Structure 1
Amino acid sequence: MRRRRRRMNRQGLPPILLAAELGHGQGHLAPLGAIAAHLASRGQSCLLATHQPEMAETLGLHRHASILPAPTGMAGPQAVRLQASYASLLHDCGWHSPVALAGRLRAWCSLLQFSSAQALLVDHAPTALLAARVLRLPAAALGTGFSLPPLHNPFPAYPTIPAREERLRDNEARVLLVVNEALAALRAEPLPNLQSLFSGVELGLKTYPELDHYGSVREANYIGLPDFSSGLAVDWGKTRGPRLLAYLRAGDGLESLLAALQAAPAQVLVRLADLPRATVAHFERPGLRILDRNVWLRQAMESCDAFVGSGSHGAVAEALLAGKPCLIQHFQMEQRLLAERVASFGAGLVLAPDQPDSFGPALQRLLDDPTLHQAARRFAARYAGRNRQRILPQWVDGWVEKLAA
């Protein structure tokens, strides 16, 4: 596809397009917002394409980048029941049909062309990466271990998922056929394999080896969890007793978990997403508050004793960096893998949503078991002393310098 002439900004630099295509919550948008703010401070203009414009508005990202709608899609009736690898994830995120993928791919190419972007930087946006490859634009990708898989051929199976290599190769062959038919519709070169989607892409894993969803199966550029330090400061009051911070989402087992927190012998602060506070306000009591606003997560973790969450990577990593053990309730594969990783080095417990009778005992163990607290403190000590506010600026500056070379 032919490139349009680049549109220059006031400093004479074409813009960089930032993109988030998949996922929910702040985990993908907050890093892109921080990058946009940093690039703006050095005179580089940015555009941000996202499938979550409401979240972008909540985070105030329009202050640093123009907000554009990201081309998105859905899996068709062929969606697999159990994702076995990154190839299955792509299949279930709209890479199941050549026509569907070609339409989204063409839209991403048009977005890159009309914005006159000089480069692309993504956080969980595989179709945008494919478009950059079509247009031969330089690209970079941030992510956790889940969204940036090990570049083995075939992609490795998710841990604990029984999948023979033959099945993994067959899955990839099916998805690769879809990709190359879509590329042919755009008269673009085919991919030799799915791993080449990341060929030449600057990768940054905003995680730690212990929290890599795939386990210790690769050497990678683990840049660590950036510090965004925003939100409501937490005031626990003057009473000093065990303090539980809970970051919960609507889903199976929510009311049972809130009931268990209500009965727990602790002060509890619940940040609840995706559900009006009024519908669960009857679980509040003296010492248990439910908030529907963002909490300053780093400060809250440093002042609590333990964390209860639904498997958000950023929240779990923040808890462990503060030396606080975790009780993790999982609803999807990504959350389950992270929960099992934390449990594997003894810093957390896994809570199955369909076992409400286990919630109360698990909360009590979270508060009382010294081995959980010791393992979390060991994790925190391992990464203490790092300037997390410099993680993203240093990483993105290194990439921009390569663009200018």
Structure 2
Amino acid sequence: MHPSGLSRDIELSLQEKTSIQPHIFIANIREAQTVSRILIAWELGGNYGHLARCLRVALALRDRGHNVAFVVRDPRTAAEILGKHSFVYFQAPHVATPTRLANPPANFSEILIGKGYADQWALLGMTRAWQALFQFFRPDVVLADHAPTALFAAHIMSIPAIPIGIGLAVPMPVSPQPSIRPWEPVPETRLIHADRTVNTCLEAVAAAVGFKGKRVPTLADLYANALLAFFPEFDHHGFRPNGKYIGPIFSFPPPTPLKWHGNRPHRVIAYLRSETRGFTSLMQALRNSESFETIIMVPGLGESNTKQLSAPHLQIFRDTISIEDILPKADVMISQGGVGTMAQTLLKGVPMLLMPHHVEQYLAAQRINELGASIICEPVDRSSEKITALLEALIQTKSYRDNANDFAQAHAGFDLNEPVFATVAALEAKIRRR
């Protein structure tokens, strides 16, 4: 162990990823006025998707001469993803103690109520903190990925802002916000009450900070010009007639030497986390199978568990790796239902076994089920026997592969860079109109 308390390998990795010097940011934000300052805000949600998506946009913006900084929900994730690219980031304002709801959130407004949007003091504190960040960085435009309070504060300060995101992170431009639990009978009065609670809180905070505009924006107003970074077929709420669908923004992990060993008749790729319900049964099914050769990514899996579960026909990776080269030859992809993974898989014409871990993933998985390109492994039965049977059904039933290929052909002209270009163009248009 190194004297710093870090292993030598980790210390070297950190040195490689944190080469930025403290004075660089101050120098950059004081450059000539011809340089545009763009702040990318991530306030809610977890895992890598938000920053991985925004990183590609940030790199494109920097290549065009813009000064880019981040405000992030999770500094640890930012250190992993942004550090080696020398982007500066700040901690996003948040409530110290989220509001405990009596029932699981029924719509986007209830999600926000759990994050402080029924507590005027909490929302006022977060709004003023965002205002202070904006006053410090002086952005010409804000890109908000699941960052509703950043959008609100930007509106209060007349700073142009564009929401971007996937699924439930981009609410519908309607009121009340629709239910996100379609399998439950949610009274409309509950949805209306949730919207009214959030909008009343926004009005009170706007008055407290001295907003002089004609009308306080509602939650729906804040997302009126959102960029939808996914395919229309994946929309959790169904197709939005006036939605600005730009397509998914994929991240590109570093290349990893991969190859199929060819010691089993069928090839499976999997990407999910160990806390997913049924994970142990899944690993048992894959390890004991004489039919499946598997390459699986399990971010955060412990080293001892990795060694214990690995086998010649079961390659386990503890980080996200590039699967572009091996994906076309896979028979099945196993996923929790992340929109990015599902899009990448269907673009290669590969059917999926989906094991959603939370509501957002379950709603997205239902959309793919409607295409006939997947099977959902329901939480009520995720035994190893059930998982094996579903994998065999996906492989043996030709229609799943055919429907996945139909999707791939329908989007054959999709340019992986186009969503990034569209986002950059939208931000630059906002700057020009300011």
TM-score (norm 1): 0.91
Please list every run of 5 or more consecutive structure 1 residues that lacks an aligned counterpart in the other structure. Answer: 1-5
The equivalent of 1:90 in structure 2 is: 112
The equivalent of 2:282 in structure 1 is: 257
| Alignment-mate amino acid for residue 333 of structure 2 | F
Instruction: Select between 325-334 and 157-166 the one with higher mean Cα deviation.
Output: 157-166
SS of residue in 2 equivalent to 1:28? helix
| Alignment-mate amino acid for residue 296 of structure 1 | S
Alignment match of 1:318 (pick from 336, 341, 344): 344
Contact (CA 8 Å) 2:142, 2:161: kept in 1 or not? yes
Q: Distance in 2 between matches of 1:117 and 1:49?
A: 12
The equivalent of 2:223 in structure 1 is: 198
Q: Distance in 2 between matches of 1:74 and 1:239?
A: 51
| Alignment-mate amino acid for residue 188 of structure 1 | F
Alignment match of 1:179 (pick from 192, 196, 202): 202
The equivalent of 1:3 in structure 2 is: none
Q: Is structure 2 residue 241 aligned with structure 1 residue 215?
A: no
Q: Is structure 2 residue 390 aligned with structure 1 residue 362?
A: yes
Distance 1:298 1:130, change over 3 A: farther
* 1:280 positional shift: 4.2
The equivalent of 1:54 in structure 2 is: 76
Q: Is structure 2 residue 42 aligned with structure 1 residue 17?
A: no
Aligned counterparts, 1:357-396, within 5 A: 357=383, 358-396=386-424
Instruction: Select between 336-345 and 386-395 the one with higher mean Cα deviation.
Output: 386-395
Contact (CA 8 Å) 1:46, 1:64: kept in 2 or not? no
The equivalent of 2:18 in structure 1 is: none
1:159-179 residue CA offsets vs partner (Å, 9 max, x unmatched): 444323322111211222222
The equivalent of 2:374 in structure 1 is: 348
Q: Is structure 2 residue 91 aligned with structure 1 residue 66?
A: no
Contact (CA 8 Å) 1:307, 1:324: kept in 2 or not? yes
Distance 1:192 1:23, change over 3 A: closer
| Alignment-mate amino acid for residue 323 of structure 1 | G
Q: Distance in 2 between matches of 1:184 and 1:234?
A: 57
The equivalent of 1:153 in structure 2 is: 175
SS of residue in 2 equivalent to 1:388? coil
SS of residue in 2 equivalent to 1:187? coil
| Alignment-mate amino acid for residue 284 of structure 2 | A
SS of residue in 2 equivalent to 1:356? coil
Contact (CA 8 Å) 2:41, 2:142: kept in 1 or not? yes
Contact (CA 8 Å) 1:108, 1:128: kept in 2 or not? yes
| Alignment-mate amino acid for residue 281 of structure 2 | S
Contact (CA 8 Å) 1:102, 1:182: kept in 2 or not? yes
SS of residue in 2 equivalent to 1:349? strand
SS of residue in 1 equivalent to 2:417? helix
Q: Distance in 1 between matches of 2:426 and 2:210?
A: 33
Contact (CA 8 Å) 1:306, 1:324: kept in 2 or not? yes
1:6-49 residue CA offsets vs partner (Å, 9 max, x unmatched): 95435632411001111222211112111111111111101111
The equivalent of 1:333 in structure 2 is: 359
Q: Distance in 2 between matches of 1:207 and 1:245?
A: 22
Q: Distance in 2 between matches of 1:88 and 1:247?
A: 30
| Alignment-mate amino acid for residue 330 of structure 2 | C
Q: Distance in 2 between matches of 1:85 and 1:69?
A: 26
Q: Distance in 2 between matches of 1:78 and 1:181?
A: 22
Q: Distance in 2 between matches of 1:11 and 1:377?
A: 50
| Alignment-mate amino acid for residue 337 of structure 1 | L
Contact (CA 8 Å) 1:18, 1:48: kept in 2 or not? yes
The equivalent of 2:313 in structure 1 is: 287
Distance 1:180 1:188, change over 3 A: same
Q: Distance in 1 between matches of 2:111 and 2:96?
A: 11
Alignment match of 1:268 (pick from 294, 303, 315): 294
Distance 1:223 1:77, change over 3 A: closer
The equivalent of 2:158 in structure 1 is: 136
Please list every run of 5 or more consecutive structure 2 residues that lacks an aligned counterpart in the other structure. Answer: 1-27
Could you tell me the percent identity over the aligned residues? 27
SS of residue in 2 equivalent to 1:33? helix
The equivalent of 1:237 in structure 2 is: 260
Q: Is structure 2 residue 304 aligned with structure 1 residue 278?
A: yes
Contact (CA 8 Å) 2:272, 2:298: kept in 1 or not? yes
Instruction: Select between 234-243 and 36-45 the one with higher mean Cα deviation.
Output: 234-243
Distance 1:286 1:123, change over 3 A: same
Q: Distance in 1 between matches of 2:199 and 2:76?
A: 33
* 1:194 positional shift: 2.3
Q: Is structure 2 residue 193 aligned with structure 1 residue 167?
A: no
Contact (CA 8 Å) 1:277, 1:290: kept in 2 or not? no
Higher Rg of the two aligned structures: 2
1:131-190 residue CA offsets vs partner (Å, 9 max, x unmatched): 111111000121113211221221222244432332211121122222223333323366
In the alignment of these two chains, the number of paired residues is: 398
RMSD: 2.2
| Alignment-mate amino acid for residue 101 of structure 2 | A
Contact (CA 8 Å) 1:76, 1:94: kept in 2 or not? yes
Instruction: Select between 47-56 and 375-384 the one with higher mean Cα deviation.
Output: 47-56
Distance 1:26 1:45, change over 3 A: same
1:90-118 residue CA offsets vs partner (Å, 9 max, x unmatched): 11233231111111111111111111111
Q: Distance in 2 between matches of 1:256 and 1:274?
A: 18
Contact (CA 8 Å) 1:49, 1:70: kept in 2 or not? yes
| Alignment-mate amino acid for residue 192 of structure 2 | R
| Alignment-mate amino acid for residue 212 of structure 1 | D
